[in-house]
Every structure is written in C-alpha cells, then in structure tokens.
Chain A
Amino acid sequence: MMKKIALPIALILLGLILTGLSFVNYNTGSPDDIDISIEKSAFIMPAAHRVYSNPEALDGKYYLFKAKITNNSSETLQDVRVKYRIPNYIDWTELTVSGEMFPGQTLVVPCYPKFDDNVTEKTTESVEKTEIEISWNGAEDDDIIEEDFSFRFTNRNEYVYTGIKSEEISSWADMYDNDALIACFVTPNDPVVKYYTQNLQEKLLKGEAASVSRKTEDAARFLSGIYEATRRSHMVYSGTKGIPKSTDDVQSIVQQVRLPREVITGNTGLCIELSVLYASVLSAAGIDPVIFMVPGHAYPGFRMNGQYYAIEATGIGGEGLGNIMSAEEAFKQGQKQLQEFFQRAQAGDPRYTLVDIHQVNAQGVTSMDLKDNDFMREKVDDIVASWSTEQQARPNNGGNNTIIVPENRIRTSNSLSFAIPNGWQTMMNPMPQMPIMTAQVVAPDQATTVSVYDIPVSNLQQGMNSINQYFSNFGLQMQYQINGNTVSGQTYSSNGNFNWIGKALKTQNGIRIVAVGAPDHLYSKNSSIINQIYNSIR
C-alpha cells in the first residue's frame, strides 16, 4: 500500500514546492532584462551652457542626452537610479530616482547638464565622454548598467549652425537650426560691453534716452552712434574661421565667433560678430535688438513700437578694403536690405529669418557669463580716446550722425495717406474681386492690417454700404459706427472677429476710407501700433 501511494504523495509534494516557489521573488532583474536606448547631442557649445542646463529653454530642445529605459523583466524594480558624469567637468550627478519600475514600464530620462560658469573660458575644442550608470535596489555590482558615449565639446567661440543629423536635413532651416543660440553670444551683461556702452552714451552721443522715450528716432540715433563709434575707432571688417565639422551623425559648419568684447578690443569683426556686438550694446542700453539673417550675411537692427530698423554694420569696411560708408549711408543700406528681407520672408523664403534677442532670451536662451577684465577696460579707454580725434557728435538736429527715419508713406494724388511702419508689406489691389480695395498693408505678424478703399460714392454711409455688399459676397458681416469722418466697427466671419478703426475723406472720385485693425484676440496687444497708424492717417 505504502509503495503504491508513494508516487501520488511525491506528486502532491512536487505540486506544493512548485506553487510555493512561484511566490518567491528570487529575481531582482538583470542587465539583460533592461533595454536602454540613448539619443545624444553631437556638439555642446560652452557659450550655450545655460541653455543646455535649462529643461524649459526652447521647450527642452537642447539636452546632452535622453535615455529610454524599459524594464523587460517580470519583476518590479525598486528605486531605479540614473546618474551620469562628464569626467573633468561634471561629477556623478543623479538624474532621477523612480520609486518603482513595473514590468513593461518605460522610463524616459532627459539630461540637462549644469556646467560650471568657467566653462566659458574654454578656448580649445575637445572630445569628451559621458558616462551613465543605472542601478536599482538589490542590484549586484555585476547588474549595474554602464553606458557611455562621446561628444564634441567646442571652444567658447565656436558656433555650430545645426545639431540635426545629416540624414534628416531637408531644408535651409534645418541647416541653420541653431539660429536662436546666437543670442548666447550677445553679452549685454559683460562688464567690458557695459563699459563700452556707457562711454558711447556719455562721450560720443553726449546723452541718449531711447529706452525711456521709446521714440524710434532716438533709437535710430543710438544705432547710428554704435556705427559711428566703430567707424571712428577705425574698426575693420575681417573674416574668421568657419569650417565644416562632423561627428558620426551630424555635419555642420562651425563658425568662430569673436565675442563682443573681443570685437571691441580687437577692433575688427565679421558680419555676424558685428551684429552680435550691436545687439549686445543695444540690449545694454535697453533697446530690443534684432539680428537679421540672410543667405551669406547677417546685419543688426532693433524693434521698437512694432517696427523694425536695421543698419549695415559692415559698412565700416576698412582702409584696406576701401568704401567706408557714413552712418547715414549704412542706415540707408540697412533699411533697403530690411525692405527686401520682409518681402522675401513674407513670400515664404525660409532663408530670411530674424533672431529677436530679447524674445529668445525670454525662452531661456540667455547670454554667457564673462568676468571683468582690466586689460580690456584699458583697451576700451584707448578706443574711446580715438573717438574724440574726429568731429564730436552733434545733437539730433542734422549733421553726420543724424539718421532721418524714413517716413514711408503711401502717397497718392488724393488725400488720406498714412505712415507705414517698417517691415510691413504693401499690396496694391490685393483682391481683384474687390476693385474698391486700393491697397492693403500687412504687419509682419500677418494679423494687423491696414486697408485702403476708394469708393465712387458721395458720402461715407454709402461707402460703408458698398463695402458691406462686397463683404457679404465673401460670407462676412460688418457692424460699424460713423462719427463725423471717423468710423469704427467689427467684421464677423466663421473665422472670428476683426476689430478696426478708420477715417474717411471725400476725394475727386468719391470717398477714400483707410481702416486699421486686428483680430479681436490680438487687438489689445497691438493697440499701440494700431493707434499710431490711425493717428498718422491724414
């Protein structure tokens, strides 16, 4: 009997053992069960170290690496830790601790490295290694996962045009994907640049208040003052190294950009370097600087009251190059280029882009830190002394450094013209289906619009009726109020409301109406420029 029952009892025992073992957590995960995939940056620019350290900057676009870690084991891992280091630059730093990591769960860990401020003193390029370590509770030394990769760490002057993999580049914009990072080279807080700006304001311009008055004339005078300062110190145009470099995945032109302090003290600069110098000085003076990027060239300017102005900073040329422009000529040339810039940009040419320095600053692209330097201050003193050897700057009432801000009016033989802000695009007879619309002027934001109507009727009421009829053909409805020769109202459509104000005047052939407005959600924001245009209608 015992012999017969031995086998079934053995089965019972085996069943109990197997069932019991199935509850024992003997597996704490092994490196083979953890999948890791890493995406890394090919280049790191010391000038942009504050951007790399900020997960909010440009929506977190600039990271050192991001790791995707998937737990493919059947066990929950406890306290999963991810840390990294860059030998000689950053010690072991914990990126994240995940309390638990379930079977099948993925952990995505982006790394925004915080370099020391003195990284901006790095003057040579190097190839550095990043080491990553992933561990969890109960992991033996053999289980800890170690990964590493190398990247190119440029010197502080190097500006890499793109970080996009060469196989993914499909457009001009891709090749210049790092445009916003040029703002890192704009250094208004550099003590040397501040000192130069103060001297410019005091000794050359004998006072300026553009940031307080917010008058474009004052800002244009300051812009020309920078040009005058560079011209008087005999600053010259000169090239620097810009060569293609590549890593495994990324190919890019890497341009040496002399910092504004180096341009001032070295008394020479390339177009992008001069643009960065102007932007730094403008920013230090409280004016919103803009750098206009066009194929093969860059030039500086500013934005004020919704309008853009520019100057051709390389007009200084140099005695060896000949053709040194006066400040007025450089400003005229800049304005001419600006007109072409907006025409091309509004036509959709992706090669024409601008970097609004304060706007990208607000997105986390901030300037590099630079320490004060007595030797450079002395150099600035020498440069300032050279300014006085030429004619002193005169007040803004005419003279060499006086810039006449172009009035840029739509002029017709009829009355009612108005000042078109710089950078706005004018289209004559934009809608053939609506012959009463003589012209339309559109702001760079593509929303704020001035419309000019010439209607062969005898009074404003009839004119508005006529416009209303045309509008109804386009599915638009209009509500307005007439008060003397002024009219204001709203245009409704399925796409939203458009608020506007305008003036009317009788002409030989009927009524001319000029109206300026914006979509209702933008009207308050743009009210300053709208009122400015409205007040200029006469």
Chain B
Amino acid sequence: MKILIIPIYILLFSLNGIAQTQQKIEMRIDSVGDAELNMSMTMNAQQWQIWNSNYGNNPSALKRDIERSMPAYFLDDFELNKDDMNRSFNLKLNAYGVCEINKRGKWIIDTEQKKAQLTKLTEHKYMFVSSPPEFGGNIQQTFIIELPVDAKNITIEKDAFGKSVFEFDMSPPSSGFNVMRYAGILIFLVGGAWSGRLIFKT
C-alpha cells in the first residue's frame, strides 16, 4: 500500500513561515484485502482558504489528484465531508486489492516505509508517523492501520528494500448460507422423523 498524501499547495508569505500540517490517515483492511481509508485534516485559516479554492469547492479535482498520487491502485467510493466551522475535512474512500496473498499463502501489506517506527495500539491496530521528504517536512502524517479481526500470527517483516511489511494468516471468509447443505440436513431430518414415527407407530 503506497502512502497517501493529500496534495495541498500552501503559499505562505507570512512572517511565521510555512505551518507544519498534520494529516491523520486511518486504513481499515477487510476480510478480502480491500481497504477503507479515512483521511482527516485541520488547517489554519489561510491554509483552509487555499485548500478550499483548490479542492474544497471542487471535490472532483481532489478525487482526480488523489487517484493520480496513487497510480498503481484502483480507488472508489469517494466521500468528502467538510466542517467549515472548524476548518477541517474528512475524506473516505475504498482502495481495492491493498493486501494480497503471497506464494507462501501469507497475507502481506507493505507500509512503503523504511524503518517505520510502528506502535502496536491493539491486537490488530498499528500506528506510525511519517514526514514525507518531498514536502520538506511540512506535512506530518499519522497512519493507523487496522488489520482484519480474523488476522492471526501478525508479524512485521522487512522486504528486500528494507521496508516494513505486515504478514499475517487469515482464513477465507465464510461462504455464508449454503443452500444445498441446509436443504440436505432439513430433508434428512424430515425423512428421519417420518420413518421414526412410522416405526414407533407399528
């Protein structure tokens, strides 16, 4: 999973220089390896004005730029909620096929981070903080990765490039109500009860 960066173009000429911006990105992986992403951010007045003129008032541009910032993924179901009073927004979207099963049958998800300082929050929830160098340290991103509840034997490995990778085991999701199986059991029980009744009657 590549790191998502919400593109914001801040042109500050003020005395206090460029503000460091915080982004919170929560990624919830489901039982088939797709991810639901929730990104939220609060800005100061000047940043909010610029962000609104670029994206806030034109969500399709935001969608397009995010799709372009993650070219290797298929993204869907974008939903933007703005809180104008508090100068913040929340963007929700789905990313398909974020996790996959490798040749050894292990589920893997790549953090794309070298020496990621991962903090375990709960059994299935991890957090790390990143400050992408391409933004000159101006954006600090807090990532929270929530693995599926069925994930077992979660380990954090390193790939060939030294990047942190989550590995875990997970069974296939239940195939749900199996009509043939339950019909068979029902017919078997009906047949059994009927024949039992006949036997005891005689």
List chain A positions with a Cβ less than 8 A from chain B.
1, 4-5, 7-23, 37, 55, 59-61, 63, 66, 68, 70, 74, 76, 79, 96-108, 110, 168, 170, 346, 348, 427, 430, 440, 442, 445-447, 449, 451, 471, 474, 476, 491, 493-496, 498, 517-519, 521-522, 525
Q: Does chain A have a CB within 8 A of B186?
A: yes
Q: Do A99 and B105 form a contact, CB below 8 Å, given A66-B74, A105-B33?
A: yes
Report yes or no: B101 in contact with A99, Cβ–Cβ below 8 A.
yes
Inter-chain contacts of B12 with A (CB < 8 A): 446
Binary contact track B93-105/A, C-beta < 8 Å → 1, others 0: 0001110111111
Inter-chain contacts of B98 with A (CB < 8 A): 108
For the complex, what is the distance from the CA of A348 to the CA of B11, rounded to whole Å? 9
List chain B positions with a Cβ less than 8 A from chain A.
2, 10-13, 15-20, 31-34, 44, 61, 64, 68-74, 96-98, 100-106, 136-138, 172-173, 175, 178, 180-181, 183-192, 194-195, 198-199, 202
Report yes or no: B186 in contact with A1, Cβ–Cβ below 8 A.
no
Inter-chain contacts of B202 with A (CB < 8 A): 1
Q: Which residue of B lies closest to A19 (CB)?
A: B184
| Sampled A-B contacts (11; CB under 8 Å) | A5-B195, A15-B185, A19-B180, A55-B72, A100-B101, A100-B172, A348-B11, A496-B18, A518-B17, A519-B16, A519-B20
Report yes or no: A16 in contact with B184, Cβ–Cβ below 8 A.
yes
Cβ of B47 to closest chain A Cβ, rounded Å:
9
Report yes or no: A446 in contact with B188, Cβ–Cβ below 8 A.
no
Report yes or no: A440 in contact with B198, Cβ–Cβ below 8 A.
no
Report yes or no: A495 in contact with B19, Cβ–Cβ below 8 A.
yes
Cβ of A75 to closest chain B Cβ, rounded Å:
9
Cβ of A498 to closest chain B Cβ, rounded Å:
4
Cβ of B184 to closest chain A Cβ, rounded Å:
3
Report yes or no: A440 in contact with B13, Cβ–Cβ below 8 A.
yes
Give the 10 A-B residue pairs with the shortest CB-CB distance, closest first: A15-B188, A11-B191, A18-B184, A495-B19, A19-B184, A108-B97, A22-B181, A519-B17, A15-B187, A8-B195
Point out the residue from B102, B175, B188, B195 that lies within 8 Å of A99, measured CB to CB: B102
12 other A-B residue contacts (CB within 8 Å) besides A55-B72, A446-B13, A496-B18: A7-B194, A8-B192, A11-B188, A12-B192, A15-B184, A17-B184, A18-B181, A107-B97, A449-B15, A495-B18, A496-B17, A518-B17
Report yes or no: B183 in contact with A18, Cβ–Cβ below 8 A.
yes
- Report the tally of A-B residue pairs with Cβ distances under 8 A: 189
Inter-chain contacts of B102 with A (CB < 8 A): 98-99
Report yes or no: B181 in contact with A98, Cβ–Cβ below 8 A.
no
Inter-chain contacts of A37 with B (CB < 8 A): 74
Report yes or no: A61 in contact with B178, Cβ–Cβ below 8 A.
no
Inter-chain contacts of B10 with A (CB < 8 A): 446
Q: Which residue of A lies closest to B20 (CB)?
A: A496
Q: Do A8 and B178 form a contact, CB below 8 Å, given A19-B184, A446-B12?
A: no
Q: Do A495 and B16 form a contact, CB below 8 Å, given A17-B184, A106-B97, A447-B136?
A: yes
Report yes or no: B191 in contact with A521, Cβ–Cβ below 8 A.
no
Inter-chain contacts of B101 with A (CB < 8 A): 98-102
Main secondary structure on chain B at its contact with chain A?
Answer: loop
Report yes or no: B15 in contact with A495, Cβ–Cβ below 8 A.
no
Point out the residue from B72, B73, B138, B172 that lies within 8 Å of A76, measured CB to CB: B172
Report yes or no: B178 in contact with A445, Cβ–Cβ below 8 A.
no
Report yes or no: B103 in contact with A476, Cβ–Cβ below 8 A.
no
Report yes or no: B184 in contact with A108, Cβ–Cβ below 8 A.
no
For the complex, what is the distance from the CA of A462 to the CA of B10, rounded to whole Å? 34
Q: Do A498 and B16 form a contact, CB below 8 Å, given A59-B2, A61-B68, A103-B172?
A: yes
Point out the residue from A74, A97, A427, A495 that lies within 8 Å of B103, measured CB to CB: A97
Inter-chain contacts of A104 with B (CB < 8 A): 32, 173
Inter-chain contacts of A102 with B (CB < 8 A): 31-33, 101, 172-173
Cβ of A485 to closest chain B Cβ, rounded Å:
22
Report yes or no: A60 in contact with B71, Cβ–Cβ below 8 A.
yes
For the complex, what is the distance from the CA of A281 to the CA of B58, rounded to whole Å? 43
For the complex, what is the distance from the CA of A440 to the CA of B105, rounded to whole Å? 60
Cβ of A57 to closest chain B Cβ, rounded Å:
11
Q: Do A5 and B199 form a contact, CB below 8 Å, given A108-B96, A521-B136?
A: yes
Inter-chain contacts of A70 with B (CB < 8 A): 96
Report yes or no: B32 in contact with A106, Cβ–Cβ below 8 A.
yes
Of B31, B74, B178, B190, the most chain A CB neighbours within 10 A belong to B74
Cβ of A260 to closest chain B Cβ, rounded Å:
28
Q: Which residue of B lies closest to A348 (CB)?
A: B11
